[in-house]
């Protein structure tokens, strides 16, 4: 089979039989997650653009394409290789005895890449808003945190709370697709801010009103930061929805930019009152550190509905430009997530990609800094850039966009990665 990426046709040969991919026009062998070759290379070699695409082809987009007026979660997933389990657990059972995966980003990687401590966040509540129910959200979170030796976060110790969009205890119907998104979100918060409390608010459905009502409930229940890892194409009426659901003075509203590259912006990331979080490709260096380029799929663009806010000064978009800042959305094997609901034989550790990872990470970093009321407006980042590292390199345009900053990570502000990604907490 073949696919086109950045205007080039790539041929994929014998992936299912050999565990490798031959990628043209120049022949290269790329490790597929779950193979021995991948194990040897995933944490030491920076993925190329072709490898990143090939890797994601081995997985799938978590949420289906949404009809107009509804949102989809912004993540992709693929099973991670099974390392087996210690006594008392198995890869498919929600047990704290499940063995740690050998692949995928782990909390220590996030802390090192973004220079985060583990001492902040006490008393801060990070709200996660998603659609439908994940019946295993808390038990899977228990596995995740026990695996990486993070403090327990449970209903019993009042660190974890799950409610529906009205704040009640009766959950909406379960959904194996959105449950992966929920697992990603709560576990990403745990990785970046182990001492933050987590409030999971589940909408009845992925409609604008259900998800928006969930945001309002999150704020009403005391969330310091609200993370939204979903989006929909812009449509008539979003300005009113923004005012009704996504405008909360003193509470940062964080939204993923999207996973479709350079094109139309997505709601609610396009709102001038929302922190729009772009995606980066996080790559290990030979010296043991990390470096970033723009993620090949992270969305950027120029809103058709919202005027240019005063804090943005870029020249080629007369309207609101997405994104503001960025964080990892892509890596060699994705972010390691534990999910045991509805995946059948794939229950257990999975790798996940997408700006659905970027948003909860930034939300958790704001919680870690403990300055949510000060940084509530996205304009804060534009006047406090010292804690952001400029991301230079990479593009999210399928076709050439003439080297413009709207689809290339260039020096200074650019749309795919915004002002850059956090290094420490000075800008948060």
Does the structure show a pLDDT above 60 at 12? no
Res 56 pLDDT > 70: no
Q: Is the pLDDT of residue 242 over 80?
A: yes
The answer to which of 24-28, 163-167, 239-243, 298-302 has the lowest mean pLDDT is 24-28
**Cβ distance 20 to 37 under 8 Å?**
yes
CA separation for the pair 2, 4 (Å, rounded) = 7
pLDDT of res. 81: 82
Q: Which residues pair with 225 in a beta bridge?
A: 126
The span from the CA of 194 to the CA of 149, in Å, is 10
DSSP string, 220-240: HTT-SEEEE-EEEE--TTHHH
The three-state secondary structure class of 163 is strand
- Candidates 28, 34, 127; CA nearest to 77 is 34
Asked if residue 227 has pLDDT above 50, the reply is yes
pLDDT of residue 40: 37
pLDDT of residue 57: 56
CA distances from 410 to 101, 159, 362, 388 (A): 35, 40, 21, 14
Is 90 exceeded by the pLDDT of residue 26?
no
Structure confidence by residue, pLDDT tens digits, 250-292: 999 999 999 999 988 999 999 999 999 999 999 999 999 999 9
Are β-strands 125-131 and 225-228 bridged in parallel, bridged antiparallel, or unpaired?
Answer: parallel
pLDDT recorded at residue 140: 98
Question: From start to end of 89-137, where are the E strands?
Answer: 125-131
Higher pLDDT, 400 or 412: 412
* Number of CB atoms found within 10 A of residue 2's CB: 10
Going from N- to C-terminal start, the domains of the chain cover 1-61, 69-422
pLDDT for 6 beyond 70: no
- In angstroms, how far is the first alpha carbon of the chain from the final one? 45
Higher per-residue pLDDT: 333 or 29: 333
pLDDT of 18 over the 90 cut: no
Q: What number does CATH give the domain 69-422?
A: 3.40.50.200
SS3 170: coil
Q: Which residues contact 67 (CB under 8 A, 6 or more apart)?
A: none
pLDDT tens-digit series, residues 344-396: 988 999 999 999 999 999 999 999 999 999 999 999 999 999 999 999 999 99
CB 203 within 8 Å of CB 229:
no
- Contact present, 342 and 176 (Cβ < 8 Å): yes
pLDDT at 335 over 70: yes
- Above pLDDT 90, what percent of the chain? 77
- pLDDT tier at 69 (50, 70, 90 boundaries)? confident
Q: If you average pLDDT over every residue of the chain, what do you get?
A: 86
Name the residue among 120, 111, 122, 135 with its Cα closest to residue 197: 122
- pLDDT tens, position by position, 93-128: 344 468 999 999 999 999 999 999 988 999 999 999
Predicted confidence at residue 85, as pLDDT, reads: 43
pLDDT surpasses 80 at 20: no
Segment 237-244 mean pLDDT:
97
**Quick check: 422 and 325 in contact, CB under 8 A?**
yes
How confident is residue 83, by pLDDT bands cut at 50, 70 and 90?
Answer: low
- The stretch 215-236 carries a mean pLDDT of 97
């Amino acid at each position: 089979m073949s696919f086109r990426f950045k205007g080039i046709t790539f041929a994929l040969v014998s992936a299912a039989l050999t565990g490798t991919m031959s990628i043209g026009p120049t022949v290269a062998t790329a490790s597929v997650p779950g193979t021995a070759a991948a194990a040897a290379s995933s944490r030491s070699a920076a993925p190329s653009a072709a490898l990143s695409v090939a890797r994601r082809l081995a997985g799938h987009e978590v949420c289906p394409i949404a009809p107009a007026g509804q949102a989809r979660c912004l993540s992709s997933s693929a099973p991670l290789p099974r390392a087996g389990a210690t006594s008392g657990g198995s890869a498919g059972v929600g047990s704290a005895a499940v063995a740690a995966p050998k692949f995928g980003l782990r909390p220590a990687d996030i802390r090192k890449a973004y220079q985060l401590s583990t001492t902040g966040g006490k008393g801060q509540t990070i709200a996660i808003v998603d659609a439908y129910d994940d019946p295993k959200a808390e038990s899977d979170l228990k596995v995740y945190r026990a695996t990486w030796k993070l403090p327990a976060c449970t209903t019993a110790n009042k660190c974890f709370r799950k409610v529906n969009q009205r704040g009640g205890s009766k959950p909406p119907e379960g959904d194996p697709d959105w449950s992966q998104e929920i697992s990603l979100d709560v576990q990403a918060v745990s990785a970046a801010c182990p001492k933050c409390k987590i409030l999971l608010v589940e909408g009845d459905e992925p409609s604008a009103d259900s998800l928006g009502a969930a945001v309002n409930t999150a704020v009403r229940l005391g969330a310091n930061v609200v993370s939204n890892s979903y989006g929909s194409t812009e449509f008539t009426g979003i300005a009113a929805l923004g005012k009704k659901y996504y405008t909360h003075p003193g509470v940062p509203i964080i939204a993923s930019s999207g996973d479709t590259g350079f094109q139309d912006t997505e709601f609610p990331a396009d709102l001038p009152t929302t922190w729009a979080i772009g995606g980066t490709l996080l790559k290990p260096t030979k010296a043991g550190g990390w470096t970033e380029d723009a993620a090949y799929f992270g969305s950027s663009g120029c809103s058709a509905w919202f005027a240019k806010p005063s804090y943005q000064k870029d020249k080629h978009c007369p309207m609101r430009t997405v994104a503001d800042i960025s964080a990892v959305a892509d890596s060699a094997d994705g972010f390691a997530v534990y999910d045991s609901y509805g995946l059948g034989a794939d229950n257990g550790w999975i790798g996940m990609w997408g700006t659905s990872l970027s948003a909860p990470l930034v939300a958790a970093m704001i919680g870690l800094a403990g300055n949510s009321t000060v940084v509530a407006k996205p304009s804060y980042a534009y006047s406090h850039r010292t804690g952001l590292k400029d991301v230079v390199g990479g593009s999210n345009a399928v076709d050439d966009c003439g080297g413009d900053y709207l689809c290339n990570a260039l020096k200074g502000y650019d749309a795919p990665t915004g002002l850059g990604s956090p290094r420490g907490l000075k800008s948060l």
